[in-house]
Structure 1
Amino acid sequence: SFLTFLSVSVITSALTTKTRQLDKLRMENEKIRMRADLLRSVSHDIRTPLTSIIGSTSAVLDNPDLSQEDRRSLLEDVKQEAQWLIRTVENLLSITRIGSDRTELNKQLEPVEEVLAEAVQKARKRLPDIKFSVEVPAELLMVPMDPILIEQVLSNLIENAVIHGQTTTAIHLRAEKTEDGFAAFSVRDNGQGISPALLPHLFDYSIRHASPPTGDGKRNMGLGLSVCSAVVKAHGGRLTAHNHPDGAEFIFCLPMPPADPAISTDLSEEETL
């Protein structure tokens, strides 16, 4: 019996080790495949604005008799394309950082109203025709987060609402504390909503990019949402999306710090006194 149990233990241990090795190999292969898909998609997305920049600058340089109005219009296009390239590079850097095995978030307690205000302030400069509104709790809500990455999540969701909402004219941002110990951030627009066929696979990068992109590369609902999902998951949170009667809404939740029992005790004693 002893020999039988020993043999079973050795075989079980060997099978467990083998299974772990196969799982690790499968995860590595999945990472390699996703990186290849990411590079293919980003290569197309970057090529489009670069082509536009070259075309606009060539038109300005090769046509010295262009009117001031036409020249300004071409240079505005160059500026917009360059700004989009900068945001794309920032997204690439973020998703590379999050995907690293040694990822360390610079998390600290931040007031949500300041994070929302900063994201809206930057968005207003890029999107002057969009009406923004912000709703935050009356009491100060402090949430542990990497503020730069969370601002990037908000910026990506705002830009996504404008580009893919198509008819979006107003965006409402809201933050609140949920009953299950999370801080919920909402980006709600009044656009055309999300295609029902796309909604179930919205955060699955490989499925969304199974077919080659067509048209303007910037209209791919890809890298920005991939970054949002990766950043929120790295914070231990969750990201969801749904349509409502007047458009679409993205909601991500970040875990709140546990209540300090010492503070609760002090408050109770003060109330008693």
Structure 2
Amino acid sequence: MHTKKTKFKLSTWFPFSWRDLLITGVILLCAAELCILLQMANTSDGFASPVFVLAVLLISRLTTGYLYGLIAAVSGVVCVNFIFTYPYWAVNFTIAGYPLTFFTFLMVSVITCTLTTQARQQERLRIENEKEKMRANLLRSVSHDIRTPLTSIVGSTSAVLENPGLSVEERQELLEDARDEAQWLIRVVENLLSITRIGADQAQITKEPEAAEEVMGEAVRKFRKRFPGTSVCVSVPDDLLLVPMDAILIEQVLSNLLENAIFHGKAVHVKLSVQKDGPYARFSVWNDGYHIPDKDLPTLFEGTLKHSESTDCDGKRSMGLGLSVCRAIVHAHGGNIEARNTEDGVEFAFRLPCSEEEQV
């Protein structure tokens, strides 16, 4: 048990990395070359120590753990003593101030490595806290979003089974309610799968150049099939706009925003558009529904919106999960998403980086 614990500590303090080894070698080589140039310029002795102190500082800052900083400290002392201190190309440990030089190099390395390690640990803790916060918000939202449609499905199907005297119209209405709730439940599960896929450390978003209008067209086609009574207007540029993306995930973002317009905004008209915005492609989903309270806008995509916060929204539908998924997907693509109230409705817009060809 003691041996395993020691190995864990050693691997934490002195991790091996080819990248860090390369950084160490390159910086030490650059420091040595700079000192050689200064020596050729007949600069007085004493220039080498500051140069190698800077090299040790950079190596300690750019590498992980203490190993490469200590290597740089020892290598710096040896180089200063062997190459750049008289007598040249000879090791002389009796030179005045040599112990102080070695101690200085060592302290620079240890202090910088400690500060760098602490900063990285704090950053990891911050990221872990954000993940935990997202999981908590996700569970809080899902607990309601899953329970409500399941209760409705059980109630509708039980009513049909337990009341054989219901008319055809009544049976039809109950079964349609059960079907709608099942479709909503499917959307919730899809969102859960997407946010789990993005949140996994080993998951990678595979982006391929896709025609923006084709992805929008597929999302609109499915939306019109589910909501034939809603007016949808689509605007795309004349030229083909290729955007690197995971088409399925971006289609899900558009679907979530479209459904939010119906379930929460009670919209009648929806407009989708995409246009070039500098190095980005800007997707916009506008609807003529209810405005979002100003106090909710800053935290709209964090999944913290409560069901009772707006009387205009359908209480049984939480848009917290869907918008959290939208933000996670867009951020995974290197983009950003925002929402704002307009004079006659609400606009959700997100930007995705264009391909290098489109950025020219």
TM, length-normalised to structure 1: 0.88
Query: In the aligned structure 2, how far is the partner of 1:196 from the partner of 1:212?
Result: 12
- The aligned residue for residue 190 of structure 2 is 90
After TM superposition, give the deviation of residue 231 of structure 1 in Å.
0.6
1:139-170 CA-to-partner distances (Å, cap 9, x unmatched) read: 1111111110010000000011111212x111
Query: In the aligned structure 2, how far is the partner of 1:142 from the partner of 1:13?
Result: 44
1:172 aligns with 2:298: no
1:171-207 CA-to-partner distances (Å, cap 9, x unmatched) read: 01001111x21111110111122111111211123x4
1:42 aligns with 2:149: no
Matches within 5 A, 1:91-170: 91-166=191-266, 168-170=267-269
After TM superposition, give the deviation of residue 213 of structure 1 in Å.
11
- The aligned residue for residue 267 of structure 1 is none
Q: How many residues align?
A: 259
Does the 8 Å contact 2:207/2:245 carry over to 1?
yes
CA RMSD of aligned residues (A): 2.4
Tell which deviates more after alignment, 208-217 or 96-105: 208-217
Matches within 5 A, 1:1-273: 1-2=100-101, 3-166=103-266, 168-178=267-277, 180-205=278-303, 207-208=304-305, 218-259=316-357
- The aligned residue for residue 21 of structure 2 is none
After TM superposition, give the deviation of residue 12 of structure 1 in Å.
2.6
1:72-111 CA-to-partner distances (Å, cap 9, x unmatched) read: 0000000000000000000000000111112222311111
After TM superposition, give the deviation of residue 212 of structure 1 in Å.
10
Query: In the aligned structure 2, how far is the partner of 1:47 from the partner of 1:217?
Result: 13
Query: In the aligned structure 2, how far is the partner of 1:153 from the partner of 1:124?
Result: 16
Summarize the Cα distance change of 1:96–1:218 in structure 2 as closer, same or farther, 3 Å threshold: farther
Query: In the aligned structure 2, how far is the partner of 1:260 from the partner of 1:164?
Result: 35
Query: In the aligned structure 1, how far is the partner of 2:130 from the partner of 2:264?
Result: 29
Does the 8 Å contact 1:44/1:217 carry over to 2?
no
Look up the SS of the partner of 1:219 in the other structure.
coil
Query: In the aligned structure 2, how far is the partner of 1:162 from the partner of 1:260?
Result: 33
- The aligned residue for residue 5 of structure 2 is none
- The aligned residue for residue 268 of structure 1 is none
Look up the SS of the partner of 1:138 in the other structure.
coil
| Percent of aligned positions that are identical | 59
Summarize the Cα distance change of 1:260–1:98 in structure 2 as closer, same or farther, 3 Å threshold: closer
- The aligned residue for residue 270 of structure 1 is none
Does the 8 Å contact 1:48/1:217 carry over to 2?
no
1:15-65 CA-to-partner distances (Å, cap 9, x unmatched) read: 321332233234224323421331232022100110011111110000001
Query: In the aligned structure 1, how far is the partner of 2:265 from the partner of 2:133?
Result: 30
- Paired AA for residue 187 in structure 2: R
Structure 1: gaps spanning 5 or more residues: 265-273
| Larger-gyration structure (1/2) | 2
Does the 8 Å contact 1:46/1:217 carry over to 2?
no
Does the 8 Å contact 1:45/1:217 carry over to 2?
no
Query: In the aligned structure 1, how far is the partner of 2:123 from the partner of 2:275?
Result: 39
Say which structure, 1 or 2, has more relative contact order (CA 8 Å, 6+ apart). Answer: 1
After TM superposition, give the deviation of residue 8 of structure 1 in Å.
3.8
